[in-house]
């Protein structure tokens, strides 16, 4: 188990380093002079010279990279070339919004997905199975930004049940905050719920036909105990892995959802930055996303080894 | 090269009977038949859309903006510039399918060789795994954002971003099937007979992995369709005024209260296409499952 | 009531059976129609007796075993009767069967690797049975689990109780399965291929544990196996199954010495017997395969593979009858039984 975790830690660290290099080189791959790209409005020779010195653009690449890593580790992502605000302070207001949205979406999706998946596996041939399967297929196929549009059109605007856009910080007014975030979270969670449902169902079908479930039945356990204690517990290993792997999709989804509901999160900041060619912001966003993905998947591996006592040294999960 | 006429012949006949069995299973599954018909019709409309569409997609008509569906001459109504929604949906669907197919093709061209190599050559496995991890660390939208920032927003870049995002899935599926096939007797026999690695991969492993690749491609297309729609909606994909289901939704969003049909219909088409692919992909997977009893 | 009474032979007194199986048939509904797996099987298990059920794979012995506890999937249609000390189990409500399973009828399966839940400790899995059937507290059940583990010969049971299945060897896992099965002192223990997946050296140990249980707790054991060695080692009586039917039933020594049905004879000559096959005779294989059970004509199911088969065998199924009027415990279903190699001791008495 220790060896497995060390292997995973090492692999994660390697991926992290590689993605930092990719992000670093990405800005260098911009057509033309990176100093021009970073300069924004003020393109006087003096300003460009100052930028070159500040970002070390006159140094050889490895030195530049070292300086870049040093700054990033200290939380210095540069300043927005549009507003001059430090990227780190932009992030500190945007990230909590996205984190709340994502956590809420994951919770909703897991509850719904696992519940429906178990139901569909246990009630085979029952109308409930058809309904759950059908809903999952629709959830997988529906463009959720469109679902968001419809929700705003027919739920928020028409009935006024939910605010169509805007955000209230959690600490300021928790109830109002939830009121603003619930609908986007439901919309964001639909795709994930569908994926979790399908994986849960398939894992449950495997577990339910396994030898140890036969043993559990032969012991005279109640169906509920057979399903939860024996079949579901084994299926959850799969579900946990899926949630980790779907994190990328969730981040992508959060960007769009925030855009539609006008939530002042990380996603909105990203899209705005793309259209304003605000490279320091884009660079920070890309790097942070990659880091978050890698770190969270490492944590999932830790969790995985807690749930599954048989952790294999090879770490092969395919 | 003295290769194995006997085992090859065996796998040949086996695959023929297997193919007929799979086709029979598909024909017996009503969902498979319906989704296949829907897809065939959609493909036909997409291919013929330049001729089928009643109006030129960019033809504006300011006398008839926001005409509701059912208006004579505009079956599905018009948008804010008086453009025919039906014509734009037809060409938009065509663009969506184009991007999706381009993206999936990209992911296969890169992913299949890497998956084969990772499964077949032990030494490559670790390197390719790190590559996969690296790709996974950049969610597709973030990748698209990066690409758009570097190269500008365009249809090609949208397809590339969506395609790159699907490479890890292809690698994983092909790798595990290669591992499985490598351990089978007929492959071992070919190796013992002195067949070269490339020969074994090309003649024995790849042909047998096609069914897995086919299923992966079928389920990747709806993801790509949704991906294209998202990117175009955000303005990172197909650029207006070229029609795309995503850009149509982006414009319609601004007038959603006045012309809800323009916001509803393109979404229905996206969902219908994705749904048909997903249903067919499921049916295909079931038909290919040797256990066969899992519906 | 019993076979002995019906045939009017007083040879031995058969005690009231713990488990009485009468005309048990099982059919499965599949994509391609109904397939019959077990055809009118009858069987009595006396208290404290070890009965071996033997046959090739696919002959219906495992299905028979599963149907006793009602463990078959919903696609199975079970008819006939299974009585546990007079209580009918076939067609009984699931809630009633649940109280019987694990308490009165317990199971041991072939694959100790996969039959234990990988994510629960073995102590928890044993305790579970006690908590359900004996309403024991968690703590008491755990203490009892430790006792049970040492009963089946697991060393340092007090620490092993917290192990996960993957930390144990195959033989140890099978002992855990046995401990779990006997936790509530079942009347009948059904062991489905209990040693097949294990090393030969480990097999003997497992069989010894089963024998001990019978001797100490008086448990009735039904051992399902395709291995005649296991039968010879442990069973008191043997039931031979072929293509879903019982073809021969006899006390173990009698069966080995005087196989009556052609199939039994074939099975015996296909497995090594010390003394007989020691380098002098080759093992014989039975030509052909077990027939598909979907359509069982009114014929002897073994006819196609039998060296002695004739028209009669293909037209009528032979009844399961005592091989000699005086030998009520030895029954077989064969029109052309094996020639008896020498005079049977019973016959001289008769």
User: Which tens digits make up the pLDDT trace of B148-194?
Assistant: 877 777 888 888 889 998 999 899 899 988 988 888 878 778 877 77
B172 at the A interface (CB within 8 A)?
yes
Q: Are A249 and A230 in contact (CB under 8 A)?
A: no
- CATH 3.40.50.300 applies to domain C3-104+187-205+215-276+283-348: yes
Domain around A238 = 102-264
Partner-chain contact A146 B271, CB within 8 Å: yes
The string of pLDDT tens digits covering residues C117-144 is 988 899 999 999 999 999 999 999 999 9
Asked if A29's CB is within 8 angstroms of B134's CB, the reply is: no
In a domain, A244, yes or no: yes
Share of chain A above pLDDT 70, in %: 92
**A295 in any annotated domain:** no
Would you call C118 and A220 a contact, using CB atoms and an 8 Å cutoff?
no
Number of domains in chain A: 1
Tell if the CB–CB gap between A270 and B142 is shorter than 8 Å: yes
Q: How confident is the model at residue C8 (pLDDT cuts 50, 70, 90)?
A: very low
Is A232 inside any structural domain? yes
Q: What pLDDT shows up at residue B51?
A: 81
Within 8 A of C114 by CB-CB distance, chain A residues are: 210-212
Other Cβ atoms closer than 10 A to C8: 8
Chain A nearest CA to C2, separation (Å): 29
Interchain CB contact of A285 with B (< 8 Å): yes
Residue whose tokens read 């884009």: A282
Contact assessment for residue B134 and residue A22, using Cβ atoms and an 8 Å cutoff: yes
Instruction: Specify if A225 maps to a domain.
Output: yes
Q: Of B242, B200, B231, B197, nearest to B91 (Cα)?
A: B242
Residues of C with Cβ-Cβ distance to A126 under 8 angstroms: none
Mean pLDDT of chain A: 84
Q: How far is C168 from C6, CA to CA, in rounded Å?
A: 50
CB pair distance less than 8 Å for C109 and A222: no
Task: Name chain B contacts of A315, Cβ cutoff 8 Å.
Answer: none
- Contact A217/C109, CB-based, under 8 Å? no
Show residues of chain A in contact with C111, CB under 8 Å. 211
Residue B293 has pLDDT above 90, yes or no: no
- Mutation target for C interface from A219, A232, A307, A313: give the one with most C CBs within 10 A: A219
- Sequence spans of domains, chain C: 3-104+187-205+215-276+283-348, 110-185
Would you call A237 an interface residue with chain C, using a CB distance cutoff of 8 Å?
yes
Q: What is the mean pLDDT of chain C?
A: 82
DSSP string of C315-342, one letter each residue: HSPPP-EESSTT-TT-EE--SSPPPPSS
For C318, half-sphere exposure in the C-beta direction (CA atoms, 13 angstrom radius) is: 26
Helix (H) or strand (E) holding B145: helix B140-151
Domain boundaries, chain B: 29-49+83-288
The residue of A218, A223, A236, A311 whose CB has the most chain C CBs within 10 angstroms, and thus the best one to mutate to test that interface, is A218
- 8 Å CB contact between C88 and C82: yes
CB contact under 8 A, B172 and A251: no
Residue C7 class from Cβ within 10 Å (0-12 exposed, 13-18 middle, 19+ buried)? middle
Give dist(CA A308, CA A236) in Å, integer.
9
Q: Which residues of chain C have a CB within 8 Å of the CB of A308?
A: 118-119
Residue C4 has pLDDT above 60, yes or no: no
Neighbours of chain C (3+ CB pairs under 8 A): A
Tens-place pLDDT, residues C202-221: 888 889 989 988 998 889 99
- Helical segments of A174-210, H only: 174-208
Q: Provide the 10 A C-beta neighbour count for residue A232.
A: 21
Handedness of CA C289, C292, C293, C296 (dihedral sign): negative
B-facing residues of A in 110-139 (CB < 8 A) are 137-138
Write out pLDDT tens, residues A21-53: 888 888 777 666 667 766 666 677 887 888 777
Of residues C263 and C292, the one with the higher pLDDT is C263
d(CA B209, CA C341): 59
Instruction: Give the closest-approach CA distance of A217 to chain C in angstroms.
Output: 7
CA of C221, closest CA in chain A: separation in Å? 16
Contact yes or no for A215 and C69 at CB 8 A = no
CATH among 1.10.3720.10, 2.40.50.140, 3.40.50.740, 3.90.79.10 for B29-49+83-288: 1.10.3720.10
A215 close contact with C: CB closer than 8 A: yes
Please indicate, yes or no, if residue A186 is contained in any of the structural domains: yes
Residue with more model confidence, A37 or C278: A37
Terminal CA-CA length for chain A: 18
Q: Spell out which residues of chain B touch residue A153, defining contact as CB-CB under 8 Å.
A: 256-257, 260, 263
How many Å apart are CA B103 and CA B170, to the nearest integer? 12
Average pLDDT over residues B38-43: 88
pLDDT band for position C224 (cuts 50, 70, 90): very high
For residue A309, give the nearest of C107, C109, C164 by CB distance.
C164
- Structural domain contains residue A113: yes
Q: Quote the radius of gyration of chain C (alpha carbons, Å).
A: 21
Contact C119 A216 (CB under 8 A): no
pLDDT at A112: 93
Neighbour subunits, A (≥3 Cβ pairs < 8 A): B, C
Helix (H, G, I), strand (E, B) or coil at C249: strand
Q: Please enumerate in sequence order all residues whose Cβ is within 8 A of that of B233, keeping only pairs 6 or more positions apart, or say none.
A: A143, A145, A256, B246, B247, B249, B250
Beta carbons within 8 Å of A202's beta carbon, 6+ residues apart: A121
Q: A127-141 and B206-234 are packed helices; what angle lies between their axes, rounded to 10 degrees?
A: 60
For A233-286, write each residue's pLDDT tens digit.
888 887 888 888 888 888 888 988 998 888 888 888 888 888 887 888 888 888
Q: Do B234 and A259 touch (CB under 8 A)?
A: yes
Residue keyed to tokens 């006592």: A309
ipTM: 0.83
Q: How far is A229 from chain C (nearest CA, A)?
A: 9
């Amino acid at each position: 188990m220790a060896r497995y975790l060390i292997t995973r830690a090492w692999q994660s660290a390697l991926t992290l380093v590689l993605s930092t290099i990719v992000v670093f080189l990405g800005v260098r791959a911009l057509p033309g002079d990176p100093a021009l790209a970073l300069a924004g409005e003020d393109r006087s020779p003096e300003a460009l010279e100052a930028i070159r010195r500040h970002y070390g653009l006159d140094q050889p690449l490895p030195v530049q990279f070292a300086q870049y890593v040093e700054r990033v580790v200290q939380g210095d992502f540069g300043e927005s070339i549009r507003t001059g605000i430090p990227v780190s302070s932009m992030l500190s207001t945007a990230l909590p919004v996205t984190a709340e949205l994502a956590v809420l979406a994951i919770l909703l999706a897991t509850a719904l997905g696992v519940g429906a998946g178990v139901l569909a596996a246990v009630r085979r041939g029952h109308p409930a199975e058809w309904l759950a399967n059908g809903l999952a297929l629709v959830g997988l196929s529906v463009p959720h930004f469109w679902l968001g549009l419809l929700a705003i059109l027919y739920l928020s605007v028409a009935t006024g049940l939910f605010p169509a856009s805007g955000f209230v910080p959690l600490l300021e007014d928790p109830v109002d905050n939830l009121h603003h975030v619930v609908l986007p979270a439901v919309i964001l969670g639909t795709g994930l719920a569908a994926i979790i449902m399908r994986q849960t169902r398939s894992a449950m079908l495997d577990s339910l036909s396994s030898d140890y479930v036969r043993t559990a039945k032969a012991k005279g356990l109640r169906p509920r105990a057979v399903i939860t204690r024996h079949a579901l517990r084994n299926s959850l290993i799969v579900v946990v892995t899926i949630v980790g792997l779907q994190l990328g999709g969730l981040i992508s989804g959060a960007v769009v959802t925030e855009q539609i509901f006008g939530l002042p999160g990380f996603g909105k900041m990203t899209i705005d930055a793309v259209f304003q060619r605000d490279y320091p912001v884009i660079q920070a966003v890309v790097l942070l996303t990659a880091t978050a993905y890698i770190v969270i998947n490492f944590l999932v591996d830790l969790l995985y080894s807690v749930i599954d006592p048989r952790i294999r040294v090879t770490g092969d999960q395919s | 090269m003295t290769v194995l006429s006997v085992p090859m012949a065996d796998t040949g006949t086996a695959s023929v009977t297997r193919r007929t069995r799979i086709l029979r299973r598909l024909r017996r599954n009503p969902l498979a038949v319906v989704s296949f018909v829907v897809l065939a019709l959609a493909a036909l409309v997409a291919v013929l859309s330049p001729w089928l569409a009643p109006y030129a997609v960019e033809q504006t008509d300011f006398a008839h903006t926001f005409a509701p569906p059912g208006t004579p001459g505009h079956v599905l109504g018009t948008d804010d510039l008086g453009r025919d929604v039906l014509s734009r949906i037809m060409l938009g669907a065509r663009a969506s399918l184009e991007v999706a197919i381009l993206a999936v093709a990209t992911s296969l061209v890169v992913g299949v060789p890497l998956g084969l190599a990772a499964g077949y050559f032990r030494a490559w496995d670790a390197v390719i795994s790190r590559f996969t991890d690296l790709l996974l660390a950049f969610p597709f939208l973030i990748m698209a954002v990066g690409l758009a920032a570097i190269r500008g927003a365009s249809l090609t870049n949208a397809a590339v971003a969506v395609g790159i995002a699907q490479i890890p899935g292809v690698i994983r599926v092909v790798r595990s099937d290669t591992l499985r096939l490598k351990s089978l007797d007929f492959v071992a026999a070919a190796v013992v007979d002195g067949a070269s690695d490339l020969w074994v991969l090309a003649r024995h492993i790849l042909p047998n992995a096609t069914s897995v690749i086919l299923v992966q491609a079928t389920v990747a297309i709806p993801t790509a369709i949704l991906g294209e729609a998202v990117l175009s909606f955000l303005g990172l994909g197909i650029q207006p005024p070229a029609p795309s289901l995503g850009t149509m939704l982006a414009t319609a969003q601004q007038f959603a209260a006045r012309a809800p049909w323009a916001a509803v219909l393109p979404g229905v088409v996206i969902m219908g296409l994705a749904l048909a692919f997903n249903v067919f992909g499921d049916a295909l997977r079931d038909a290919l499952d040797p256990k066969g009893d899992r519906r | 009531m019993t076979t002995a009474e019906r045939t009017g032979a007083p040879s031995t007194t058969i005690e009231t059976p713990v488990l009485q199986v009468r005309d048990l048939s099982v059919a499965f509904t599949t994509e391609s129609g109904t397939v019959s797996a077990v055809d009118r099987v009858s069987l009595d298990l006396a208290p404290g007796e070890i009965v071996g059920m033997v046959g090739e794979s696919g002959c219906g012995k495992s299905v028979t075993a599963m149907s006793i506890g009602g463990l078959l999937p919903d696609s199975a249609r079970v008819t006939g009767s299974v009585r546990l000390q007079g209580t009918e189990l076939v067609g009984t409500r699931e809630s009633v069967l649940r109280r019987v399973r694990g308490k009165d009828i317990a199971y041991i399966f072939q694959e100790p690797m996969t039959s234990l839940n990988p994510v629960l400790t073995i102590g928890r899995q044993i305790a579970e049975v006690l908590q359900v059937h004996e309403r024991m507290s968690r703590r008491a059940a755990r203490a009892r689990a430790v006792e049970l583990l040492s009963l089946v010969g697991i060393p340092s049971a007090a620490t092993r109780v917290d192990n996960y299945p993957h930390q144990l060897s195959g033989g140890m896992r099978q002992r855990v399965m046995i401990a779990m099965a006997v936790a509530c002192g079942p009347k009948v223990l059904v062991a489905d291929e209990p040693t097949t997946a294990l090393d030969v050296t480990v097999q003997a140990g497992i069989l010894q544990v089963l024998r001990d249980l019978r001797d100490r707790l008086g448990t009735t054991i039904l051992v399902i196996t395709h291995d005649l060695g296991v039968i010879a080692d442990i069973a008191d009586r043997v039931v031979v199954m072929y293509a879903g039917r019982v073809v021969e039933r006899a006390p173990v020594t009698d069966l080995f010495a005087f196989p009556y049905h052609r199939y039994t004879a074939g099975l015996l000559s296909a497995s090594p017997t010390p003394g007989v096959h020691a380098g002098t005779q080759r093992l014989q294989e039975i030509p052909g395969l077990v027939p598909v059970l979907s359509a069982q004509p009114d014929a002897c199911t073994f006819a196609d593979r039998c060296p002695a088969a004739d028209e009669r065998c293909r037209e009528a199924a032979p009844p399961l009858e005592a091989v000699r009027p005086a030998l009520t415990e030895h029954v077989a279903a064969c029109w052309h039984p094996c020639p008896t190699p020498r005079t049977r001791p019973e016959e001289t008495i008769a």
